[in-house]
Amino acid sequence: MSEEQPVNQIKWTIHNTNPELVEPLRAKLSEVIDPEIGMSIIQLGLVRDFSVEDGIGKMKMILTTPFCPYGPALIEMTRQKAVEALNKPVTIEMLPDMWDFAMMEDPSALDWGLYA
């Protein structure tokens, strides 16, 4: 099954250091769906970077809103999926950056009518 390349596909550190891990990681993280928006954390661009250092996955992530009521559960599910994908321990650093629609891999996905 061929898939179109996302418009704003984020390049993580592992694209250069461990390219063989990118697809399994993206596939597992795509299973994590933001319950309010109904899109994956990959589609939304919430995973800002991912690296592997000393056998540990290190993820940098943001949420769509700073006080997301689902935040703790979403972060833990993200960590678990990353561990499944890599078979390594994973830590998540939450960044203070504000999420914006422009961070989405395909901003045209917003044509689902929720936002005008």
Quick: pLDDT tens for 28-45: 999 999 988 899 999 999
| Residue whose token pair is 């690296």 | 51
Q: What is the DSSP letter of 40?
A: B
Q: How many domains does the chain fold into? A: 1
Sign, CA torsion 66/72/76/81: negative
Instruction: In whole angstroms, give the CA distance from residue 107 to residue 101.
Output: 6
Range of the domain at 25: 14-95
Instruction: In whole angstroms, give the CA distance from residue 105 to residue 66.
Output: 20
In tens, the pLDDT along 53-89 reads: 999 999 999 999 888 888 999 999 999 999 999 999 9
Q: Tokens standing for 109?
A: 């996905």
| Residue whose token pair is 């390349």 | 5
Considering the entire predicted model, what is its pTM? 0.85
Beta strands in 1-116 (DSSP E): 47-53, 56-61, 90-94
CATH number, domain with residue 66: 3.30.300.130
Q: 109 lies in a domain?
A: no
